């Protein structure tokens, strides 16, 4: 049943023709910024609003950057899988491969003045916000060079200077915080918005509706983005939600359903949503996407769905292959040049991993930092509470 939901969104798409016939390319890789107009794979579905245009403005340079960025994200997550199996990454680890179009399309529509907050599947969102591969792999392996000094791990990436407020481990808890970020944007009158990302598994959380209610009352510039990969952990959406039309869940708040495997559709939807939020307040975007890995590295991902389902989505809707085909159709690069990009990306990932392994582990004293406010004279005692062991900074 779950596969029928997924295939319906891809039916009639121009992207489903075999890729092998697409490469009749003649000239070198394009660096042009000349405008291109491309139609989204499928129409947008709306709730209480008019849809944005299906015709998206882009450029050769943007399409090639989409390809490189998504190839980097894909290779990064595959490498993280290997590092986890080698026990160099410990604890929880949730991978994003398959969902890359959401991260790159969203970034293409906004600026670093806008805020993003998400759940624990956060590696690619951090990379899109300007994080580095070295910061990512260092954090994943618990090293000092990580974006959270090796103390956050996979679920707690953070880059405040680029408007990225985390990686959060409590299901749905990031949504009220995202509405708080939107309140700050409105208070500061900075013409920026906040994007609060959550999965279909978090879509039934009560705190989401409470935060949405106050945001609608105050016309906050918040965009709630449901990354619907169709399985909340191992539970199919139709088993968990009486109404899995998540873009309609806001009732009095407008919503838009988007093909989350089409980077250009995501870009168009996010641009539309930002304009709406600045003018009229909250809006919900449901990104129809798919994860290739299980929920986390402890989940094989094949007990509640078939391998045929996963391979079918890869063949019909893969976001990287869609961009690869567009590049071919518009004669922007040769097949060899795209393969060279992928080789270069693999080399960059391998080099970042090697450097991350050289980064030291955090000092034991780091256990006491970022817990209490500095200068408060907080004392740490032993188990018997008779002996002061340390005075915290």
pLDDT value of position 4: 42
**If you average pLDDT over residues 236-254, what whole number do you get?**
97
326 beta partners? none
> Based on the domain organization, do 169 and 206 belong to the same domain?
yes
For the cut 60, the answer to whether the pLDDT of residue 26 exceeds it is no
Going by C-alpha positions, the residue among 257, 318, 258, 322 that lies closest to residue 291 is: 318
> Based on the domain organization, do 128 and 165 belong to the same domain?
yes
Is 131 strand, coil or helix?
A: coil
- Answer yes or no: are the C-beta atoms of 79 and 93 closer than 8 Å: no
pLDDT value of position 31: 79
> Based on the domain organization, do 343 and 377 belong to the same domain?
no
Average pLDDT, the chain: 92
Going by C-alpha positions, the residue among 219, 205, 215 that lies closest to residue 168 is: 205
> Based on the domain organization, do 347 and 369 belong to the same domain?
no
For the cut 50, the answer to whether the pLDDT of residue 17 exceeds it is no
Give me the DSSP letters along 73-87. Answer: HHHHHHHHHHHHHTT
What b-and-e string marks burial along 51-62, b requiring 16 or more CB atoms within 10 Å of the CB? ebeeebebbbeb
d(CA 204, CA 294): 21
100 domain residue, yes or no: yes
Q: How far is CA 86 from CA 82, 83, 100, 141, 154, in A?
A: 6, 5, 24, 11, 16
Is 275 strand, coil or helix?
A: helix
Domain count of the fold of the chain = 2
**If you average pLDDT over residues 213-229, what whole number do you get?**
98
Q: Is the dihedral of CA 341, 342, 343, 349 positive or negative?
A: positive
> Based on the domain organization, do 201 and 117 belong to the same domain?
yes
Q: Mind listing the pLDDT tens digit for each residue in 103-161?
A: 999 999 999 999 999 999 999 999 999 999 999 999 999 999 999 999 999 999 999 99
Q: In the structure, what pLDDT confidence band is assigned to residue 12 with cuts at 50, 70 and 90?
A: very low
> Based on the domain organization, do 112 and 91 belong to the same domain?
yes
31 domain residue, yes or no: no
For the cut 80, the answer to whether the pLDDT of residue 8 exceeds it is no
Characterize the bridge pairing of strands 379-381 and 55-58: unpaired
- The residue to which tokens 């088993």 are assigned: 239
Taking the complete model, does pTM exceed 0.85, yes or no?
Answer: yes
> Based on the domain organization, do 159 and 308 belong to the same domain?
yes
Among residues of the chain, what percentage have pLDDT more than 90? Answer: 84
> Based on the domain organization, do 335 and 387 belong to the same domain?
no
pLDDT value of position 27: 63
Could you list the residue range(s) of the whole structural domain that residue 69 is in?
36-362
- Answer yes or no: are the C-beta atoms of 208 and 246 closer than 8 Å: no
382 against 217, higher pLDDT: 217
> Based on the domain organization, do 275 and 380 belong to the same domain?
no
> Based on the domain organization, do 238 and 133 belong to the same domain?
yes
Task: Say which range, 6-20, 64-78, 242-256, has the weakest mean pLDDT.
Answer: 6-20
Query: Which CATH number do you get for residue 315?
Result: 3.40.50.970
Q: Mind listing the pLDDT tens digit for each residue in 68-114?
A: 999 999 999 999 999 999 999 999 999 999 999 999 999 999 999 99
For the cut 50, the answer to whether the pLDDT of residue 11 exceeds it is no
> Based on the domain organization, do 272 and 376 belong to the same domain?
no
């Amino acid at each position: 049943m779950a596969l029928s939901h997924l295939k319906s969104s891809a039916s009639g798409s121009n992207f489903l023709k075999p890729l092998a016939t697409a490469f009749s390319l003649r000239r070198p890789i394009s660096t042009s910024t000349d405008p291109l107009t491309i139609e989204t794979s499928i129409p947008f579905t709306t709730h209480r609003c008019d849809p944005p245009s299906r015709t998206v403005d882009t450029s050769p340079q943007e399409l090639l950057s989409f390809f490189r960025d998504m190839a980097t994200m894909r290779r990064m997550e595959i490498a993280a899988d290997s590092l986890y199996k080698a026990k160099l990454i410990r604890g929880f680890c949730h991978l994003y491969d398959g969902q890359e179009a959401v991260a790159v399309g969203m970034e293409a529509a906004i600026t670093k003045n806008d805020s993003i907050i998400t759940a624990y599947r956060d590696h690619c969102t951090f990379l899109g916000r300007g994080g580095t591969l070295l910061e990512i792999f260092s954090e994943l392996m618990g090293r000092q060079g990580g974006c959270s000094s090796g103390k956050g791990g996979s679920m707690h990436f953070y880059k405040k200077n680029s408007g990225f407020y985390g990686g959060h481990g409590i299901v749905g808890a990031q949504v009220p915080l995202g509405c708080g970020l939107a309140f700050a944007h409105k208070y500061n009158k900075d013409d920026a918005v906040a994007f609060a990302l959550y999965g279909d598994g978090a879509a039934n959380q009560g705190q989401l509706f409470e935060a949405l209610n106050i945001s609608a009352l105050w016309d906050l510039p918040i965009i709630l983005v449901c990354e619907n990969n169709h399985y909340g952990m191992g539970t199919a959406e139709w088993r968990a939600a009486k109404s899995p039309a998540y873009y309609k869940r806001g009732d009095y708040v407008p919503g838009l359903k988007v093909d989350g495997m089409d980077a250009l559709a995501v870009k168009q939807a996010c641009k539309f949503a930002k304009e709406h939020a600045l003018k009229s307040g909250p809006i919900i975007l449901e990104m129809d996407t798919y994860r290739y890995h299980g929920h986390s590295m402890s989940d094989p991902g094949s007990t509640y769905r078939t391998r045929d389902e996963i391979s079918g989505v890869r063949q019909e809707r893969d976001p990287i292959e869609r961009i690869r085909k567009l590049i071919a159709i518009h004669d922007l690069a040769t097949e060899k040049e795209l393969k060279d990009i992928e080789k270069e990306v693999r080399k960059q990932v391998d080099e970042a991993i090697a450097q991350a392994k050289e980064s030291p582990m955090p000092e034991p004293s780091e256990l006491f930092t970022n817990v209490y406010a500095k200068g408060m004279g907080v004392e740490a005692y032993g188990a018997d509470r008779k002996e002061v062991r340390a005075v915290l900074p």
